[in-house]
Amino acid sequence: MNGKQRLLAIVLLSSLALNLFLGGIVVGKYLGQLSETKLFQPPPMPRGPRWILESLPEASREKVSPLIQAHRQQMKPQIRAMRAARREVHQQLTADDFNVEVLSEALAKLEQEKQKGGKMMHQLLIDIASQLNEEDRQRLSEATRRRPRPPWARDRGPDFERPEWGKP
């Protein structure tokens, strides 16, 4: 290969690399715009108190961050209790000597632990909202608002009967 051919090969490879790079940017931008459409809906609310911080401006985040840290410490034993209750339900469902009454007790315990966790989250929300101004409470409210359900999942009124599978 002589010098001109080598130079041409380098220029062509450089051009190919630059085109692939720019094409990646264009595709990434397109997919980013596509993800903002209804095709890629995020879950209604992220798990844990992180969604609270993400919905607030920086000054308010600094104000409520100590409340969330304290809440995390209080919530750790409750999370462990809920996980233990879930494990117990799983063990009862998969036990060789299946017992309906023991499963029922395990499910009741799980429900009780979930309610305790929910009350703790509600108290955290109350504590945080009491520290915020009206504008930040509005932001927090928007973050907690559930997105509309799709038409096939909406309640269709008291007279609506769901069709049975396999029947027209």
Low-confidence winner among 48-57, 59-68, 71-80 (lowest mean pLDDT): 48-57
The confidence band for 146, taking pLDDT boundaries of 50, 70 and 90, is: low
Residues of the chain with pLDDT > 90: what percent? 27
The confidence band for 129, taking pLDDT boundaries of 50, 70 and 90, is: confident
- Which pair of tokens denotes residue 27? 């595709």
Residues of the chain with pLDDT > 70: what percent? 74
Q: Is the pLDDT of residue 45 over 50?
A: no
Q: Is the pLDDT of residue 46 over 70?
A: no
Q: Is the pLDDT of residue 139 over 60?
A: yes
Residue 80 or residue 38, greater confidence: 80
Q: Is the pLDDT of residue 56 over 50?
A: yes
Residue 145 to residue 167: CA distance in whole angstroms: 36
Quote the Cα angle for 124-130-136, to 5°. 95
Q: Is the pLDDT of residue 19 over 70?
A: yes
Is residue 109 a contact partner of residue 86, using CB atoms and an 8 Å limit?
no
- Which pair of tokens denotes residue 71? 């809440």
pLDDT of residue 101: 94
Residue 60 to residue 53: CA distance in whole angstroms: 8
Residue 151 to residue 127: CA distance in whole angstroms: 36
Q: Is the pLDDT of residue 51 over 80?
A: no
Averaged pLDDT for residues 153-162: 60
**Mean of the per-residue pLDDT values of the chain:** 80
Low-confidence winner among 14-18, 62-66, 90-94 (lowest mean pLDDT): 62-66
